[in-house]
């Protein structure tokens, strides 16, 4: 009886060990920050954002120059009170306009950055999911946030994701 229970215990432990190997997980790692920076879509979005920022800066510079022109005129001591009052009102209006434009431009740039980031990340996540399914990967961990302490470089699929993203069909805007 004792032999049978020992044999049963050994058999049970063997089954547990063998079944745990059958459920071994395959994991991979990806650096989404690197995907954003090095993919063609990420580079394109960065250039578009840079162009938008430059366009906004040019408009702001023109508005600032108009304000400087009024300030210069206000320093003229030969101005009548009526002319000075008119210029001060113009100055206040232009300053308010500049501040409003800066706030709107800042918000527009922020929204564009969020929109582009979400578009790229959405596409990258779909590629990662498909890649993981095709290669029998059970889990993919993101590394750019510093939450993963160590991973084997052979398990890093970042370069593969960038290549797949670069080779994917461009989505319509």
User: Which pTM does this prediction carry?
Assistant: 0.73
Q: What distance in Å separates the CA atoms of residue 50 and residue 116, rounded to the nearest whole number? A: 12
What are the residue ranges of helices labelled H in 75-141? 81-134
Predicted local confidence at residue 154, as pLDDT: 80
The CATH superfamily holding the domain 23-167 is Skp domain (3.30.910.20)
Task: Write the pLDDT tens digit of every residue in 116-128.
Answer: 999 999 999 999 9
* Average pLDDT for 55-71: 96
Q: What distance in Å separates the CA atoms of residue 74 and residue 85, rounded to the nearest whole number? A: 9
Predicted local confidence at residue 13, as pLDDT: 45
For the chain, the structural domain boundaries read 23-167
Task: Write the pLDDT tens digit of every residue in 77-102.
Answer: 888 889 999 999 999 999 999 999 99
């Amino acid at each position: 009886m004792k032999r049978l229970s020992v044999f049963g215990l050994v058999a049970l432990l063997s089954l547990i060990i063998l079944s745990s190997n059958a459920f071994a997980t395959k994991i991979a790692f990806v650096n989404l920050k690197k995907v954003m920076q090095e993919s063609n879509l990420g580079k394109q979005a960065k250039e578009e954002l840079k162009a938008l920022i430059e366009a906004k800066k040019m408009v702001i510079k023109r508005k600032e120059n108009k304000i400087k022109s009024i300030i210069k005129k206000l320093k003229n001591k030969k101005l009548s009170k009526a002319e000075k009052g008119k210029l001060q009102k113009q100055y206040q209006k232009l300053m308010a306009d500049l501040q409003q434009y800066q706030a709107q431009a800042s918000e527009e740039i922020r929204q564009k950055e969020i929109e582009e980031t979400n578009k790229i990340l959405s596409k990258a996540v779909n590629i990662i999911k498909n890649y993981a399914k095709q290669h029998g990967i059970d889990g993919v961990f993101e590394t750019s946030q510093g939450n993963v302490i160590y991973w084997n470089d052979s398990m890093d699929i970042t370069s593969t994701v960038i290549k797949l993203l670069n080779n994917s069909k461009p989505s319509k805007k």
